[in-house]
Structure 1
């Protein structure tokens, strides 16, 4: 199918945002555009209002408020296989440092931040999970799959869809479709810093594992020896298993999902770690933490890494309150000289705002706390624009 090319002109605000590198063009920013029925994935050439020369290229998404997703900033583009190869190679090069360290579970494509808006690739050893969040990729998916498999050395590629795309799926694949070698089990083993995990590549949340907290998991492994560790919102055990690998005296994990706890148990067994050191609590985190406080429990390392509380602007105030509640609970569960690790994956709450929330929870120098350091994203989760900066983790030490 020949892919249509369409000329686009934006209003001043929209043009300014694109020139500043923003990857989204909203419907209301478009002054000159085609009919809404124009096929998804059509190539949009965005012209400068003043010079009438191209400034960027994007893909048309007729069903979304973000009507154009930018794939290239510049004045010339030949949209062919060589272009996609080049884009994929550039993304792969950003992960080379992790690959060289022997890490076999990494994010190969991080959506807009790698100039592939609405597309995520997570790699687990020789298996890739390609998750599609937009219909714009339908005209290009065959070429991309072939090049992705070749570049990352994948024997198997699994196709997954966001809920919205999956509900009206127009792609020639169903959810969980396998390209390449069949899998005897959807459960795929991968490794990071000497710790092994299973990714449930077809039924697991998102693509089967959360890879973004890798450097902070390593910190826990390196600092857990003979320590009593609490991992809240533990999911399948990422932080906690690194703690056990690092010689933790004990590990208490809290997560509302019993299914996640079952996978955590598998991961502990996979690493041949001492299961008797582990206390799993499948319960609401707020309730479970309050019970631990009532029982006068304290820990040397407390990790609180919840899911996103603010997926839209209207949820920011509520999310801030939730983060403050968690910070207070974590504060009361941390031993003297202990470490408190607080994470947020809500892009709508900035690092500065997250720090202020902790101050509201009395985690301040005046109250005996030392601000140690913060981390953002690892190499495989590059930050390409403001909204792409979602993950922030702050480390504190309790001095008194």
Structure 2
């Protein structure tokens, strides 16, 4: 038998169905399990708690497959999880048979497959595996995904440095069918987006901002818009369709800006109303400040500033600095849509950071809307860490 026993009192989170077992909670390891092996989990009093994938090098020593019940963690197990995810997405308006749409099919722990993310882009699926358990079972996951979706191709994006914490090698490549070198075209709320599945950020695109992008489009009419960390220009395309006076798309990546420009052309939007700037956003905002330039609507959607608890304070300073700069560039009555994708950045702290930035900028602002993850990025109630995306829409008053 391969098993782990928890220290006294450390079974409480498992009894509440939290999917992680931290290394400090483990009292004994039995049977010499290897990376990704399924182990039985017991309390200090020898009560069976469930089955988990074992990871000897990670701070997260185990990730639960089941709670309170034994099962075969096999092809049938993953087939059932995929069927559930497909049915759940369909009930929320996301259909795998729609060959133009894009959405998240598997949201890791929240859909029962810890560390596994599966995103649909038209008829191509992009998969990111970050944990040892899903890594061991990836062949079954890929074969079942192809069988159930009848997709054209599956591309593996196992190239995140997070894998190193699990003792996993980095890897990318086509694992089923064919995946084109050219961008895959998706239709999001009537806007066509070119997606670079092979080289783009994460699995290729930020699907989690779908609802926020639509909202920005609704409030952009007649406004001068600044889209920071624009990546492939998602917020900017919605602003253009919404009738903005002008949108400035700023990103440090030349390749991302190339796709942003392609998106404007593909959707037959006015290039005269868009300016693309290849620049470091912090430096660009300072230049705008020094020139006393102002904007009616600013979008701040930066990369993750907080990678671990150890750099939470440093990340908080980064969010404070960039929001302070943005506050100073808002016109009277102007709006700022600001986001954090750092799971360790809780909403209360993020809201305090925005309040402090406003005070230091000597601007009086009101929170008029909150943003979060859309329905294809569900959050298990027992796993609050799954609520990584948070955003605020504030207005100068």
TM-score (norm 2): 0.91
Match of 1:123 in 2: 120
**Whole-angstrom distance in 1 between the partners of 2:229 and 2:157:** 25
Kindly tell me: are residues 197 and 352 of structure 1, through their superposed partners in 2, closer, same or farther at Cα, counting changes over 3 Å?
same
Alpha-carbon shift at residue 92 of structure 1 (Å) = 2.5
SS at match of 1:154: coil
Deviations 1:281-321 (A, max 9, x none): 11111111121222232222111111111101121112111
Kindly tell me: are residues 186 and 132 of structure 1, through their superposed partners in 2, closer, same or farther at Cα, counting changes over 3 Å?
farther
Structure 1 residues 66-105: aligned runs within 5 Å: 66-96=60-90, 97-99=92-94, 104-105=101-102
Between 153-162 and 348-357, the greater mean CA deviation after superposition: 153-162
Deviations 1:320-350 (A, max 9, x none): 1111122222112222222111101112221
Match of 2:48 in 1: 54
Structure 1 residues 348-387: aligned runs within 5 Å: 348-362=344-358, 367-384=363-380, 385-387=383-385
Matched, 1:288 2:284: yes
Structure 1 residues 189-204: aligned runs within 5 Å: 189-204=185-200
Match of 1:22 in 2: 18
Kindly tell me: are residues 167 and 8 of structure 1, through their superposed partners in 2, closer, same or farther at Cα, counting changes over 3 Å?
closer
Between 151-160 and 234-243, the greater mean CA deviation after superposition: 151-160
Kindly tell me: are residues 168 and 202 of structure 1, through their superposed partners in 2, closer, same or farther at Cα, counting changes over 3 Å?
farther
Match of 1:41 among 21, 33, 36: 36
Kindly tell me: are residues 86 and 349 of structure 1, through their superposed partners in 2, closer, same or farther at Cα, counting changes over 3 Å?
same
**Whole-angstrom distance in 1 between the partners of 2:35 and 2:85:** 24
Alpha-carbon shift at residue 35 of structure 1 (Å) = 5.4
**Whole-angstrom distance in 2 between the partners of 1:20 and 1:62:** 23
**Whole-angstrom distance in 1 between the partners of 2:352 and 2:363:** 14
**Whole-angstrom distance in 2 between the partners of 1:312 and 1:139:** 26
Alpha-carbon shift at residue 263 of structure 1 (Å) = 1.6
TM-score (norm 1): 0.90
SS at match of 1:378: coil
Match of 1:160 in 2: 157
Match of 2:390 among 365, 389, 392: 392
Match of 1:255 in 2: 251
Match of 1:133 among 126, 130, 134: 130
Alpha-carbon shift at residue 62 of structure 1 (Å) = 2.8
Kindly tell me: are residues 278 and 26 of structure 1, through their superposed partners in 2, closer, same or farther at Cα, counting changes over 3 Å?
same
Match of 1:267 in 2: 263
Deviations 1:198-242 (A, max 9, x none): 111112221111111111000011121222111011111011111
Is the 1:166–1:175 Cα contact (8 Å) retained in structure 2?
no
**Whole-angstrom distance in 2 between the partners of 1:294 and 1:46:** 59
Structure 1 residues 302-317: aligned runs within 5 Å: 302-317=298-313
Is the 1:160–1:177 Cα contact (8 Å) retained in structure 2?
no
Alpha-carbon shift at residue 177 of structure 1 (Å) = 2.4
Alpha-carbon shift at residue 19 of structure 1 (Å) = 1.5
Alpha-carbon shift at residue 142 of structure 1 (Å) = 2.1
Is the 1:8–1:32 Cα contact (8 Å) retained in structure 2?
yes
Alpha-carbon shift at residue 168 of structure 1 (Å) = 11
**Whole-angstrom distance in 1 between the partners of 2:246 and 2:57:** 50
**Whole-angstrom distance in 2 between the partners of 1:83 and 1:184:** 31
Matched, 1:149 2:124: no
**Whole-angstrom distance in 2 between the partners of 1:59 and 1:79:** 10
RMSD: 2.5
Structure 1 residues 235-246: aligned runs within 5 Å: 235-246=231-242
Unpaired runs of at least 5, structure 2: none
Match of 1:345 among 341, 345, 352: 341
**Whole-angstrom distance in 2 between the partners of 1:167 and 1:176:** 21
Kindly tell me: are residues 67 and 170 of structure 1, through their superposed partners in 2, closer, same or farther at Cα, counting changes over 3 Å?
closer
SS at match of 1:201: coil
Is the 2:124–2:179 Cα contact (8 Å) retained in structure 1?
no
Matched, 1:325 2:321: yes
